[in-house]
Amino acid sequence: MKNLSELMESFLKQQEHSARRSKETIRGYKAAFHLLLKFMPQMETSDITKENLVDFFEFLQTRKRICGLNTEKSGVKTSTIATYRSKLNAFFIWLVQDGLIKTNPFNGIEYPEVLYEDRKYLSKQDVEKILTAIEVNCLDPLIRKRNKAIFSILLYCGLRRNEIVNLRFLDINLENKELKVRAETSKSKRNRLVPLHREVIYALKDYVEVRKSKNYKTEYLFVSHAADKPLTTHGLKHLVESLKEKSGVQFHLHRFRHTFAVNMLTRGCDSIKLQKLMGHKTMRMTLAYVRALPSTAMQEDIERLSIDKLL
């Protein structure tokens, strides 16, 4: 009889190689399972019960953890609970299908209602503070220009973290003014082409010129500051933590994706085009970003109303 960790390894192997889940999705499964075992280290299939899962989510709400600059926090957002439930649910469904547990413990437990009332996008002032922090605090020309190129792509192309670190030189076409997000690096598992804003083109040309003078050989576009190796997700996370401290803006990379989406919508981009640009499989995923639109974005539309133009 396999223990729960061995079963999770089998599940992950199937998800990665048969279902072709992205690295980010696989990481999400691992993180959720790691927390479940932290709550109940000797957990077996017989322990996968509705009562234990309720206790697990209570544990998530009350556990103490260190975040940011050695700040102790407790509690989690409803969206975080929903994410962990979604990841564990996929594993439990797999266990049921293979006859390893009789029923899914989430059956009968209402799914948490995630509200999207909080502003997810960054303000102009916040973006300016982050870009200023890049310009002022990085003395190495290569890394400064690299960081400017990265955040230009985040702001004007709306790429995900995993898509950024996996960009290769061959994915950038400055002549056609577009970049390619390859299927194997995209959450949607589809290739997509994203037009390049002039600011991104300027930043990329600047960065590439300095990078070439260093004779880097890696095929990946963004390099590590320490060696001729690609920038990793860990390296990108470290960069964000540094910029949070230096800029005074509390942010994570995905907020730039929200910022891209909201600003595209307020500039008149329709939802179908935005869905294509962001690489969403369904319109439902794109509409989650529409919820973040501020009421001021609709002011001009309201002003266009007139008694003379009523139906």
User: The domain spanning residue 223 has which CATH number?
Assistant: 1.10.443.10
* Cβ pair 156, 263 in contact under 8 A: no
- Compute the distance between CA of residue 154 and CA of residue 173 in angstroms, rounded to an integer: 17
Asked, for residue 301, whether it belongs to a domain, the answer is no
Dump pLDDT digits (tens) for 172-193: 999 999 999 998 888 888 899 9
Residue 258 domain boundaries: 124-296
Which of 97, 116, 140 is at the close of a domain?
97
The answer on 195 and 87 residing in a single domain is no
Asked, for residue 153, whether it belongs to a domain, the answer is yes
- Compute the distance between CA of residue 288 and CA of residue 271 in angstroms, rounded to an integer: 11
pLDDT of residue 166: 94
pTM of the full structure: 0.74
pLDDT of residue 193: 95
pLDDT of residue 136: 92
The answer on 133 and 231 residing in a single domain is yes
- Compute the distance between CA of residue 104 and CA of residue 93 in angstroms, rounded to an integer: 6
Asked, for residue 197, whether it belongs to a domain, the answer is yes
Dump strand ranges (E) for 123-215: 172-173, 178-181, 192-195
**Residue in 220, 163, 152 with CA at minimum distance from that of residue 189:** 163
* Cβ pair 266, 296 in contact under 8 A: no
* Cβ pair 41, 179 in contact under 8 A: no
The answer on 212 and 87 residing in a single domain is no
pLDDT of residue 202: 97
Helix-, strand-, coil-residue percentages of the chain, each rounded to 5: 60, 5, 35
Angle at 29 between CA 90 and CA 13, to 5 degrees: 85
Residue stretches of the chain with pLDDT short of 50 = none
The answer on 197 and 82 residing in a single domain is no
The answer on 244 and 143 residing in a single domain is yes
Asked, for residue 263, whether it belongs to a domain, the answer is yes
Tally of structural domains, the chain: 2
Burial 150-175 (b: 16+ CB within 10 A, else e): bbbbbbbbbbbbbbbbbbeeebbeee
The answer on 48 and 178 residing in a single domain is no
Asked, for residue 103, whether it belongs to a domain, the answer is no
Scan for tokens 């995905």, then name that residue.
254
* Cβ pair 268, 241 in contact under 8 A: no
Asked, for residue 213, whether it belongs to a domain, the answer is yes
